[in-house]
A = this chain, B = another copy of it.
Amino acid sequence: MFSEEHQLADLLNQFNTTADTGQNRLVYSEQWLHNQKTLILLGQKYGAKATVDDYGNVSLEFPGQEATLPIATGSHMDTVRQGGRYDGLYGVIGGFCAIQKVYQQGSLPKKPLRLISFSEEEGSRFPAAFTGSKHYTGQQQQVAALVDETGITFAQARENAIKQLQAMPDVRRQRAPLPANFTELHIEQGPRLSQAHQSIGLVTGIVAQNRYNVTVHGQANHAGTTPMAQRQDAIATASRLMASLYDLVDKSSNSLTFTIGEIRVSPNVSNVIAESCTFTIDCREESDERLATFLSAMNKVIKQFDNVTIEQTLHVPATLLSQALRKQNAEIATQMKFPFRELFSGAGHDSQIMSTVVPTTMIFVPSKSGISHAPAEYTKMSDLLIGVALLTASLSAQANEA
């Protein structure tokens, strides 16, 4: 195992920075651009043909004996702000290592293999996520005019970065044709595998998700001179509404997650009664039906409160990934004696976009303490290598079957 470990560790080090502030590989940033360039050169060195589309998705295609649709793997190159070393990048680098191992096995696989490095999945620079895989799968997007926090538009940032990638030697400039299927290797970002001491998670599906902004309207006034009975205190109402919603969650299904992560108060001054209090709701469920049941109960609770408005900001239905590909991976994992479980993903992934056009599966490896989107994100090397080994066997099987 030494040389495999050496290669994986080396590449992860090469594509990550050592900054205390974690990884800040926002889409189209300098570090992002450097990494996509480095990946293209790496692929070309090992015989791949590189394609870069107009969103900066990189496809590296390695030859097969037959001119059929390729078997694809990969993940996204961007990170959140102050992100970890594995989210996204592990699927790109692990995918590259797995493809190399398939070719090291001897004869050329029947089908070509493709490594995809999606431009953007996190939605951390511009208020839009999955822009890479959405473009890859041909979805129309209205993102050109979105601005980042410095006022640069998506269109400006993209044009500058893509120009440099597409100007590289032997790079095809086009949207890559769709592959035969897609396997994404990724860290779990939750605690279930690490708590169960299992090295592999085979993903059955990705949760349905709705998000809302809830605003309680009050009236700003002096905290000392306004009698309690004459107040419209937005925080008084909001705190009771939030507490009622958490009570409702306690009575709901085990597969529900419910998060109020953001609160914004106006004017937010200690001696002024709040004029308004807006909070977000992030609500996820494995089942669309159970989510709808909860949302209906949630709306009933909200309607019991006066002066409240609710705005839906996101709706993503549950995604079921390929049963056939998961079954094949389960058989391989059993043969290889890797401890695994099947599980739902509570996080969104490029796979949910890819699964709308091609059979798609995901392989998870454990996240220590379930921590992700933080510099402390960590997966031990032995688990990283087991993930790559399973992906290698899976790609080899897929690329050599009839």
Task: Write the residues of chain A forming the contact surface with B, with a CB cutoff of 8 angstroms.
Answer: 188-192, 207, 209, 211, 220-228, 230, 233, 235-236, 238-240, 242-243, 246, 249, 254, 256-265, 268-274, 277, 279-280, 282, 284, 345-348, 370-374
Within 8 Å CB of A209, what residues of B? Answer: 224
Closest B residue to A195 by CB, please name it: B230
Within 8 Å CB of A279, what residues of B? Answer: 235
A373 touches B262 (CB 8 A): no
Within 8 Å CB of A264, what residues of B? Answer: 268
B265 touches A226 (CB 8 A): no
Question: How many Å lie between the Cα of A271 and that of B224 in the bound state?
Answer: 36
Within the oligomer, what is the number of copies of this chain?
A: 2
A228 touches B258 (CB 8 A): yes
User: A223's contact among B261, B265, B268, by CB below 8 Å, is which?
Assistant: B261
Within 8 Å CB of A374, what residues of B? Answer: 220
A210 to chain B, nearest CB (A): 12
A304 to chain B, nearest CB (A): 14
Within 8 Å CB of A211, what residues of B? Answer: 270-271
B256 touches A261 (CB 8 A): no
Closest B residue to A265 by CB, please name it: B263
The 8 closest A-B pairs by CB, nearest first: A190-B225, A239-B242, A224-B346, A223-B259, A270-B280, A225-B346, A243-B243, A224-B347
Question: How many Å lie between the Cα of A189 and that of B282 in the bound state?
Answer: 40
B249 touches A242 (CB 8 A): no
A262 touches B257 (CB 8 A): no
A242 touches B235 (CB 8 A): yes
B257 touches A226 (CB 8 A): yes
User: A260's contact among B230, B235, B243, by CB below 8 Å, is which?
Assistant: B235
Question: How many Å lie between the Cα of A272 and that of B227 in the bound state?
Answer: 37
A94 to chain B, nearest CB (A): 19
Within 8 Å CB of A271, what residues of B? Answer: 211, 259, 261, 282
- A selection of 30 A-B contacts at a CB cut-off of 8 Å is A188-B225, A190-B222, A190-B224, A190-B227, A191-B226, A191-B227, A191-B230, A207-B224, A209-B224, A211-B271, A222-B346, A222-B372, A223-B261, A224-B282, A225-B345, A225-B370, A227-B254, A228-B254, A235-B260, A235-B261, A239-B260, A240-B243, A259-B271, A259-B272, A261-B265, A261-B268, A261-B269, A262-B270, A263-B263, A264-B268
